[in-house]
Structure 1
Amino acid sequence: MKSHVFAAALVLGTSAAAAQEMVSYSTPLSFDDVTFGLESAITNRGLRVDHISHVGDMLERTRADVGSDIVLFKHAQVFSFCSAKLSRQVMETNPMNITFCPYDIFVAQPSGAEYVTIGFRAFPEGEMQVIHALLDAIVQEAIEE
């Protein structure tokens, strides 16, 4: 049975030049279940997580140092990984696609929220859509029940 998942494409920023799209899904699954599902979905494809950024921990640890009293996240991490095969494919088309590598998927639970959000930056049309499709499939697998 699939969890109740809500998909949204959001635009961040205040101007068209600064706007950056993302794809995100919200789920009632626990943060630990989503991160476990994400790692499994990545490794099930023969890929390896290169790095996990503990963004939520960093923001909480430095909150007082920057003069803030706002707790942003209960949990927040970014998982970085790459696909040698697909990266080579998109970079052979355009070597400057290196700018997109490694690929990142975030998992976050905002402070006070009952839901967890998982997502990634949207990729441009053209050859990078193969990466967009890969990340979307990984994210959706991560939140399946």
Structure 2
Amino acid sequence: MRKLLLATCCIWGAAAAQAQDMVSYTSSDSFDDVAFAVETAIVGEGLVVDHVSYVGDMLKRTREDVGSDKVLFTKANVYTFCSAAVSRRVMEADPMNIVHCPYGIFVAQLADKPDEVVVGYRQYPEGPMQEVQSLLDGIVKDALGE
């Protein structure tokens, strides 16, 4: 059991370290328009949004509970989803690519930059996971009309 816990912590640690490396784009469109466009682009790829994490709302709601008065986002959501076909290919190349699943795209409006919406995703390692990165980049660019 201890080995399983240690292995799980190592996997989460590796994912957290990689989450610091991201690809992002900005838009001057409204948060709601960009969020809708991202969700539409995901569905347009034949994928299903598994979950929307309302990160901005959660941080706002819990700000005082954790002893902070700093407002980070006006709004911020993370859309998670998976692609059976792409996931199959990258996990056949290396079953431990499971650590990257599900895939996520964030849409955020920073409190200190209210006229800008940031859209992005984590950067994936070289090799088979670049197929996922290409998929996410295509979705984001489609959402932003690029």
TM-score, reference length from structure 1: 0.85
What is the CA distance between 1:144 and its match in structure 2?
1.2
Task: Give the Cα separation in 2 of the matches to 1:90 and 1:62.
Answer: 37
Aligned to 2:89: 89
Runs of 5+ unmatched residues, structure 2:
1-16
Residue pairs, 1:37-56, within 5 angstroms? 37-56=37-56
**How much is the aligned-residue C-alpha RMSD, in angstroms?**
1.5
Structure whose residues are more often helix by fraction: 2
How many positions carry a matched residue from both structures?
A: 129
**SS of the residue 2:124 aligns to:** coil
**SS of the residue 1:65 aligns to:** helix
Aligned to 1:4: none
**SS of the residue 2:64 aligns to:** coil
**SS of the residue 2:142 aligns to:** helix
Runs of 5+ unmatched residues, structure 1:
1-16
Task: Give the Cα separation in 2 of the matches to 1:45 and 1:53.
Answer: 20
TM-score, reference length from structure 2: 0.85
Residue pairs, 1:115-130, within 5 angstroms? 115-130=116-131
Q: Which amino acid aligns with 2:109?
A: Q
Aligned to 2:76: 76
Change (3 A) 1:128 1:51: same
Aligned to 1:132: 133
Change (3 A) 1:19 1:32: closer
Change (3 A) 1:40 1:57: same
Q: Which amino acid aligns with 1:112?
A: D
Aligned to 2:107: 107
Q: Percent identity?
A: 59
**SS of the residue 2:46 aligns to:** coil
Task: Give the Cα separation in 2 of the matches to 1:19 and 1:108.
Answer: 15
Per-residue Cα deviation, 1:108-144 (whole angstroms, up to 9, x for no partner): 0001311000000000000000000000000011111
Structure whose residues are more often strand by fraction: 1
**SS of the residue 2:90 aligns to:** helix
Aligned to 2:31: 31
